[in-house]
Amino acid sequence: MPLNETSAGILAFMNANMPSMQGLTAQEFRAYSAQMVQPADPADRVTMQDVDAGGVPARIYRREEAGAAEPVVAFYHGGGYIACGIDSHERLCSRLARLGACAVVSVDYRLAPEHVFPAAVDDALTAARWVAENGAQYGLDTARMMLAGDSAGGTLATVTAARIRDEGGPAIAHQLLIYPGTDMVTDFPSAREYDEGYFLDRDFSELCLNAYLPDPADRAHPWASPSRAADLSGLPAATIMTAECDPLRDGGRLYARQLQDAGIAAEYIEYPGVFHGFASMFGTIAEADQAVEKAGEVIRRTFA
């Protein structure tokens, strides 16, 4: 189906107001995207504490009424590895803490082009290990821990799960991947169908990939393209959410099938009529409300 009416209206506004990606630098896009900061909704009633997660800045979100130690989600934000951060995803992380009845640790990994691959991957792993080793001091039940992220952050979440499998601990109960990039090499049909005018268009994708992966050979590395890993067995169970009108859709769908083929319990959910990035627009796009409600359900079920 085509974009639904609400999504089409939002995209039309975005396309009319976003700068052209042709000739734009990563730093210029980062400055533009800084306008998209989304503060927490007071109705979610969360407390926030900024911490140093082993040299990686992070922010802990907990529900105001939380008493005993809460299970924890380490969350990695999207932004194409070149933009966004804790502040851009504050609203989403607060909502996940509320709906998931958990704590969320939002990780502010280093960005490209100042810090190229694998800097973000290393920061993601460092932060996850810090949470496991130090979280109890902050009211976190680190025996119940999962990884989550959207877009580039979804990729970092599953790559971190794979590195933990290969390099040792901590135990990860689940991976929640919201429109992750899973294959930076294959030209999927969805990438061709939605290559222009759907926010994550081809020019923007190339801007991000050239900044983060200046060596083209690294695009096939399993830490950048987890679908290309030689072995996906032994990873945590997964929930993968994609948007129908998203260049990354087919890669996410394939990754879910690859996990299933490797014996991993992987649930795949595709939201119709929406575009890349929609999940942060809950309260405006009905499918975004459905997605964050589903994410909360997955978190609660995982930690039950």
Of 7, 88, 106, 151, the active-site residue reads 151
d(C-alpha 199, C-alpha 187), whole Å: 17
Is 106 catalytic? The answer is no
Q: Which amino acid is at 19?
A: P
Q: Residue 19: its pLDDT value, please?
A: 86
Q: Which amino acid is at 158?
A: T
Is 276 catalytic? The answer is yes
Average pLDDT for 246-272: 98
Is 150 catalytic? The answer is no
Strands of 56-63's sheet, edge to edge? Answer: 46-53, 56-63, 103-107, 70-76, 140-150, 174-178, 237-245, 266-275
Q: Residue 117: its pLDDT value, please?
A: 98
Of 150, 246, 250, 280, the active-site residue reads 246
Of 190, 250, 276, 280, the active-site residue reads 276
Secondary structure class of 104 (helix, strand, coil): strand
Q: Residue 35: its pLDDT value, please?
A: 83
Q: Report the first-to-last Cα separation within the chain, whole angstroms.
A: 36
Average pLDDT for 162-170: 95
d(C-alpha 63, C-alpha 44), whole Å: 8
d(C-alpha 222, C-alpha 133), whole Å: 26
Residue-range domains of the chain with CATH: 5-303 (3.40.50.1820)
pLDDT digits (tens, 9 = 90+) for 91-145: 999 999 999 999 999 999 999 999 999 999 999 999 999 999 999 999 999 999 9
Confidence of residue 36 (pLDDT cuts 50, 70, 90): confident
Q: Residue 284: its pLDDT value, please?
A: 97
